[in-house]
Structure 1
Amino acid sequence: MASLAQRSKDANVTMAEQHDIEDASPDVPKKWRGTEADNANMKAMGRVQELRRNFTFITILGFGSTLICTWEVVMTNIFPVLTNGGTAGFFWSLLVTSLYMLRYRRWHQWLLLPADNITGAVSEFAPPSCQRFLSYIVGWLCFTGWQSGLTAISFIAGTIIQGLIALNNPGYFLVPWHGTLLTIAVCAFAIFFNTVIASRLPLVEGSIVFLHISGLFIVIIVLWTLAPRHTAQEAFLELTNNGGWDSQGTSLLVGLYPLVVALIGFDSVVHMSEEIKDAASTLPRAIMWSTYLNAFLGFLMVITLIFTWGDAEEIAKSPTGYPFIQILYNVTNSRAAADVLSSILIITLTASVIACVATASRQLWAFARDQGVSFSSFIA
């Protein structure tokens, strides 16, 4: 079955039809209504454009890249790898995960409908007898996944702040409810941004991608310049199983999840599809290039960490709660330097939370528009 996007390319949209489409979106200024292909896609789905198409390829690439934030998530989630897999497990697990993710997304970009949400894609390709049921199940999985995902990134950003407090105040102990309040604060800021200054979202996310890239090189240059080095044999061949598991294979699988988490979230741009200009062409490219970029940056970070993280047992016991903060402090021997380098991750992870809130809100709105949740008319 040809995709809806492909069928729309083959459709002959007359001037009268185009005029009808424009009149169907009176609340959207003309300059934000997208291309004729966008309008044809919306009409083919029986939708009326309600959102502004203010994302271009560069800004949606920045949006997707900063949301996925692979190298930041890799760096903040190395604790399980320290005891389950070690340096060799870290490297080879990333390689396998990246290759799988790239192959999966190469196929997935053509499955998703550029002008609709994931539930629409399921409805398009599922057998007619179970389209409604499968669309409903997938819609709820996406809804719960994104709602919980944005709190997870908020938790990381908030507790990094708490870790820096512990670094600069040796008498401070990590109190769980302090971390909870910081998590709420980060999430509240992201909601405020999406509510009050949402029109600046493309500009901010497009700009943060430069910090996302340059911040990585700042961190790895510091590590390669100042940190002691492991040998290539230690980095690539030494596996660890200090978690008490029965086999090395089980230990590797336990240490694998931070790398899987670091490469998810590519479907965020799909949920923003009704705000992308020329979505049928832009969205598939944004999916792949955000994946390529983040996999490459994550690969550079993992290579750097397996050579420079030092004594695994010491950094695993860091009073900050985050081994990467201890690595930065050990390398620079300066709390101020560790604060500055860690603040790069706080900024980019907060930008990721902002993007997660945007994605989760659009997904919920689209699902409510299809009457998939309770109080659909109110939410939509």
Structure 2
Amino acid sequence: MTAEFELTNGPLDGKGPGNSTSRVHDQEELGRVGKKEILKRRFGFLSILGFSCTILATWEGLLSTFTVPLENGGSAGTVYGFIVVWAGTISTLTTLAEMVSMAPTSGGQYHWVSMMSPKRCQKYLSYLTGWLIVIGWLSAFVSTAFLVATQIQGLIILNHPTFDATQWQAVLLYWATIAFAVFFNIVISTHLPKVESFVLILHIIGFFAIIIPLVCLGEKNSTHEVFTTFTNDGGFSSMGVSFLVGMMGSMFAFTGADAAVHMSEEIHNAARVVPQSIIASAFVNGALGFGMILSTLYTMTNFEEAIDSPTGYPFMQIFYMATGSKAGSTVMSAIVPIISAAGAVGSLASSSRMVWSFSRDRGLPGWRFFSQVNSQAIPRYSILVVTVFAILLGLIILGSEAVLNDVISLCVSALYSSYFISASLLLWKRCAGGIRPAGDHPIDVIVNTPGAPLAWGPFYVPGLLGIAVNAFSVAYLFIGVFFSFWPDVVDPTINTMNWAVVGTAGTCCISSIYYFVWGHRIYTGPIVEIEMN
């Protein structure tokens, strides 16, 4: 199918980065994949780079999940596992960058799956992928807010060891974090790009504010201890299995790689800027994360004391052991929940845009309601529905914190599954020669939608190198999805069992049942919204 189109988006304002030439180009890029421009483009390269970096929040995430690789891998496993995950993330983000350059829409993975899938399963695979992204981003938002809440409790315990932290207090702090994110996304949403640019600066300055006193004041372990000490506290049959299970901690720290993708329709020159920003964020965050890992491992002179910290977070105890000052370690530790709270703001933005986009394509119940935007082009109803579900999930803490941790693990299994499906299809299409150079089709011909020709965007890795990158991404993502369902110990109890497979499989089953009973009647994949000539 080929079709010409005309743009029908009203007057141009001719101001700043959104001048008439730029806006026409953005409209043409979006129109080529069959979409009208509805949201306003407020983000540039620096602001979306800050958005990507603070949602990935790799060095902050590593400190938050430090116990996972330490218990299954030890200090050496933590270092080498991070290197593997960093390489896999760069490869995965390069693959995602190629696809978003082809189709820079807020739908992201489900749009790409729809445009590359065989016709007989195009609608179903796209629908399933859309649901995986929705549940994955909801879990990412919940996990970020939950970590902020418990880290605040940890700071209180650090200064008042007799403080008895309760689950209802964690719930209130969790809800307060959600309210903070809602405020930025609804009340001052038009200023979100400026906020993200500022948080990028804080993300980098905060790293040095921690690492300098940590390295200068703390006692040091030997290089031999850091790079050769492996631990298998989970009791697995081999150190290799334990290493792969522990690697999930680093994978969690890199989760949210597609955050900027779902903001594509609010970014100037998205087909070029989004690939640049997400790849840059992988290198920036990876470098900061690796530096934080080495600094923390070198100054963690008492493994047992760090792991058994009453704060619940080993990094707080490590900071205290290094500085010998509660005030100093409190200031250093407080940087982590502050930046994580900013990450919650971005997580809500990305998850709400995904809900809005999937509703626009009639993939969710109530799609007419959730696909609406207000006068400022903000999808408030999508923001509110994500918020309501996040608030309700917080009630799980009152029943069992372990259950909520299982819900949190969905952000790895669900999002990585969506990456895996789309990356596998890109590899297949690429090897079959089904993607043409961008210049093969005029600007007024629809491409990269279901039934239309496939064409590369401005960014792609050519030749055999591109195939190798895609293949490595598929292999890495398969391992990530597989081990995201494993428990931390070989003989888990009900409380220590990893129930992520139930959440992921449950989402797939429920969405599949809904699709075959009702959804297939209204969901046809990404809708072509433009007017045809």
Output one character per residue of 1:300-344: Cα deviation in whole Å (capped at 9) or x when no partner: 111112211121101111111111111111111222112211121
| Structure 1 residue aligned with 2:67 | 79
Determine the C-alpha separation between the residues in 1 that align with 2:304 and 2:63: 16
Output one character per residue of 1:96-134: Cα deviation in whole Å (capped at 9) or x when no partner: 111121122222211232234222211121222222111
1:216 to 207, 210, 218: 207
Aligned pairs for 1:1-380 (under 5 A) are 17=6, 20-23=7-10, 31=15, 32=18, 34-112=22-100, 113-118=103-108, 119-380=110-371
Say whether the 8 Å CA contact 2:69–2:250 is kept in structure 1: no
2:157 is paired with a residue whose SS is: helix
Determine the C-alpha separation between the residues in 1 that align with 2:282 and 2:42: 22
Determine the C-alpha separation between the residues in 2 that align with 1:322 and 1:29: 50
Say whether the 8 Å CA contact 2:106–2:354 is kept in structure 1: no
Offset of 1:350 from its aligned partner? Answer: 0.5
Determine the C-alpha separation between the residues in 1 that align with 2:138 and 2:121: 26
Say whether the 8 Å CA contact 2:69–2:248 is kept in structure 1: no
Moved more, 236-245 or 163-172: 236-245
Determine the C-alpha separation between the residues in 2 that align with 1:30 and 1:54: 14
Offset of 1:30 from its aligned partner? Answer: 5.7
CA RMSD, aligned part only? 2.0
TM-score, normalisation: structure 2: 0.66
Determine the C-alpha separation between the residues in 1 that align with 2:30 and 2:73: 48
Aligned length: 364
Aligned AA (2:104): P
Determine the C-alpha separation between the residues in 2 that align with 1:312 and 1:90: 13
Offset of 1:280 from its aligned partner? Answer: 1.1
Say whether the 8 Å CA contact 1:22–1:30 is kept in structure 2: no
Aligned AA (1:120): H
Output one character per residue of 1:340-373: Cα deviation in whole Å (capped at 9) or x when no partner: 1112111110010000000001000000011100
Determine the C-alpha separation between the residues in 2 that align with 1:341 and 1:255: 26
Determine the C-alpha separation between the residues in 2 that align with 1:214 and 1:288: 21
Offset of 1:22 from its aligned partner? Answer: 3.8
TM-score, normalisation: structure 1: 0.91
Say whether the 8 Å CA contact 1:38–1:115 is kept in structure 2: no
Determine the C-alpha separation between the residues in 2 that align with 1:375 and 1:104: 33
Determine the C-alpha separation between the residues in 1 that align with 2:304 and 2:13: 59
2:260 is paired with a residue whose SS is: helix
Output one character per residue of 1:171-192: Cα deviation in whole Å (capped at 9) or x when no partner: 1123222112211211121012
Offset of 1:39 from its aligned partner? Answer: 0.7
Q: CA 1:192/1:272 → structure 2, altered by over 3 Å: closer, same or farther?
A: same
| Structure 2 residue aligned with 1:3 | none
Determine the C-alpha separation between the residues in 1 that align with 2:351 and 2:32: 25
Offset of 1:376 from its aligned partner? Answer: 0.5
Where do 4+ consecutive residues of structure 1 move more than 4 Å? Answer: 28-34
Say whether the 8 Å CA contact 2:296–2:315 is kept in structure 1: no
Q: CA 1:272/1:316 → structure 2, altered by over 3 Å: closer, same or farther?
A: same
Give unmatched runs, 5+ long, in structure 1.
1-6
Say whether the 8 Å CA contact 2:151–2:337 is kept in structure 1: yes
Give unmatched runs, 5+ long, in structure 2.
372-533
Aligned AA (2:59): W
Determine the C-alpha separation between the residues in 2 that align with 1:167 and 1:280: 46
